[in-house]
Amino acid sequence: MLKSPATHSSTAPVTSDKAKSKAERSESGFWLNAKDKYYAWIFLGPSLLILGVFIFYPMFRTLYLSLFLTNTVGKPTVFVGLSNYINLLTSADYLSSLGVTMVYVLAVTVITIALGLILANYASKQLAGIGIFRTLFSATMGVSVSVAAIFWLFIFNPSTGFLALVSNWLHLPQINWLTDPGWAMLAVIITTVWMNLGFTFLILLGAMQSVPTTLYEAASIEGATPRYQLFHITIPMISPTLFFVSIITLIEGFKSFGLIDLMTKGGPTNATNMLVYRIYKDAFYSGNYAQASAESLILTVIIAIFTLIQFKVLEKRVNY
């Protein structure tokens, strides 16, 4: 069911006999070079405009706003330098948000990768009908945030929910999943992991299937057990993919908003008040645009760092 990525194999590969130098490559189509710059404007113009207005301008505007105090409609009033940042980084409240987000992001990443590995490991076994399992395992990719929230809100519902029902049957104490500060975070983590699982599984499975089977054959001949093969062949071989999925999951975790809004609204008592939700509240509820801008910039820096790490590591495979 899952094939390796499609390639256009209908033309024969160019033999290296006359592998062209970079200089020659760059000259292909040189007749139009003079006019290329006009074409460049046409081809790049729309994208540049959109990115400029909705990505670059807002970044500078956010930076600008974060250095001011703002009025209730978000107009800057008094220049205050870095004091918005200083206030934030000395506020126990904000630091707790930062901490909560870190816990959430780390937990989600570790659990998602671990479960994804287990699913992919079993789904890569050679068994009849394995394709059906592969399809089913990837199913949560099709679940949007609000659907996931509805499914799990019902499961976690303290009076009529599924877990309440199960613990009733088993005579276990009731847990107020979403209203108990001790449990709400776990509930959100579980839901996020479940949503992420399909995507993670699919990528890890793809990576596992591209490990050359001869490696396993050689290991089997030498008597390695399946478990030994998993830890000494599979995981090392797919480590670049593992790294990639981890970074993606981390970044997505930092940007989480929908589930928080739908399930806990940052509560109870700020137990799940994560960075983006905070920005939203501070800006659009409290009208504190300046502070929200400073929070936005901190978030940008965090995400930029992880993205840069990703670029750096992937650089070898990416040709600029």
**Cβ–Cβ under 8 Å, residues 290 and 65:** yes
Length in residues, the chain: 320
Between residues 184 and 195, which has the closer beta carbon with respect to another protein? 195
* Residue with token string 């089997």: 220
Looking at the Cβ atoms of 110 and 309, the one nearer to another protein is 309
Q: In 104-114, which positions are buried (b, 16+ CB within 10 angstroms) versus exposed (e)? A: bbebbbebbbe
Of 51, 141, 108, residue with least CA distance to 274: 108
- The residue among 312, 223, 290 whose CA lies nearest residue 67 is 290
Give the Cα separation of 79 and 66 in Å (integer).
Answer: 9
Which residues are CB-neighbours of 147 under 8 A, at least 6 positions away? none
Closest approach of another protein to the CB of residue 143, in Å: 6
Q: Report in angstroms how near the CB of residue 4 gets to another protein at its nearest.
A: 8
* Residues 25, 106: Cα–Cα separation, whole Å: 45
Of 210 and 269, CB closest to another protein:
210
The distance of closest approach from Cβ of residue 100 to another protein in the complex, given in angstroms and rounded to an integer, is: 16
Question: To the nearest whole angstrom, how small is the minimum distance from the Cβ of residue 271 to another protein?
Answer: 20
Distance in angstroms (rounded) separating the CA atoms of residues 134 and 299: 36
For the bound state, the minimum distance from the C-beta of residue 59 to another protein, rounded and expressed in Å, comes to 6
Region of 298 please: left (phi>0), alpha (psi -120 to 50) or beta: alpha
For residues 40 and 36, what is the distance between their CA atoms, to the nearest angstrom? 6
Provide, rounded to whole angstroms, the least separation between the CB of residue 150 and another protein.
4
CB closer to another protein, 113 vs 119: 119
Q: Which C-beta is closer to another protein: that of 225 or that of 269?
A: 225
Q: Which of 267, 289, 240, 313 is nearest to 71 (CA)?
A: 289
Q: How far is the CB of 88 from another protein (least distance, A)?
A: 14
Which single residue is written with the structure tokens 């399909």?
Answer: 198
| Paired tokens of 62 | 């956010």
Output the CA angle 202-204-209, nearest 5 degrees.
95
Query: By C-beta, is 149 or 184 nearer to another protein?
Result: 149
Cβ of residue 269: shortest distance to another protein, in angstroms?
21
| Closest distance of CB 152 from another protein, Å | 6
User: DSSP 3-state assignment of 68?
Assistant: strand
Cβ proximity to another protein: between 82 and 305 the closer is 305
Instruction: Answer for the pair 293, 84: CB distance below 8 angstroms, yes or no.
Output: yes
Nearer to another protein, 51 or 110 (CB): 51
